[in-house]
Amino acid sequence: MAHSVVVIAVAAVVHAAPLYDNLSLGVPGPADQIVDRRGYALGFSRRHKQPLWVSYKLTAEEVTNNVVGRADSFEFDPEIIGGSATLEDYRRSGFDRGHLAPAADMKWDPLVMRESFYLSNVSPQINAFNSGIWKRLEEWCRGLALRRGSLFIVTGPVFPDDEDHVTIGQSKVTVPHFFYKVVYDATPPGRMIGFIVPNKAAKNIYRFAVSVDEVEEATGLDFFSELPDDVESRLESECNPNKWNR
């Protein structure tokens, strides 16, 4: 599978030449390792055994081009230096293997679908969260991509303070307290929105809508940094869910 992936080992480097369009608007932040695949790119944390961020462009064509069904077969990621989480880490943990780049966004190619089930692309999620509000937020993004043509999406966990640090499995996979998602619709004049959602049962996605600036403050990341500074500053300060229903 070397033809479909580039692996970039980094410690504090935040810029890398993108292989696909996943990182065309910038690398969101430093990571122990960046892996850029056809379907998504991720910045992996060895400490937390999961991504700090997952970035990808979702197009209307990808949403409608359902050439393969859901894989439903999670795998150890062979590209992760030092190893990803394992199936045993999640077994009897009480947590779902929650996708960050959703499998339902990857039905346009068999290899892309398979790679979405690598355990480097999942985080421990409460079942009611994973099958509830997180699923609805993913469906909202797909519907928006259909209407607007394409979206840029970055998503990932928000980790607790050290004193509240809970892990699962022998690999000590950190259980996030929250998850974030930031969405950029580049259709002129452009718009952005962020979400920070607690890892528990909830219903209304707009209740958790925030500006992208607020997600950056919570995560220490810098989204869409390749945009012109004035555009990035203007759009990242917005939070108007009503704009996204039009």
Q: How far is CA 12 from the centre of its chain?
A: 20
pLDDT score of 4: 54
Show which residues are catalytic.
99
Stretch 20-25: mean pLDDT, rounded? Answer: 92
Looking at the predicted structure, is the pLDDT value of residue 216 above 70? yes
pTM over 0.85: yes
CA 212, 181, 136, 191 torsion-angle sign: positive
Give the model confidence (pLDDT) of 107-122 as tens digits: 999 999 999 999 999 9
Residue 205 DSSP one-character state: G
With a CB cutoff of 8 Å and minimum separation 6, the contacts of 107 are 62, 65, 66, 67, 68, 69, 70, 113
The type of residue at 167 is T
Q: Does domain 56-245 have CATH number 1.20.120.10?
A: no
Give the model confidence (pLDDT) of 137-195 as tens digits: 999 999 999 999 999 999 999 998 776 789 999 999 999 999 999 999 999 989 999 99
Domain ranges for the chain: 56-245
Q: What SS3 class is residue 103? A: helix
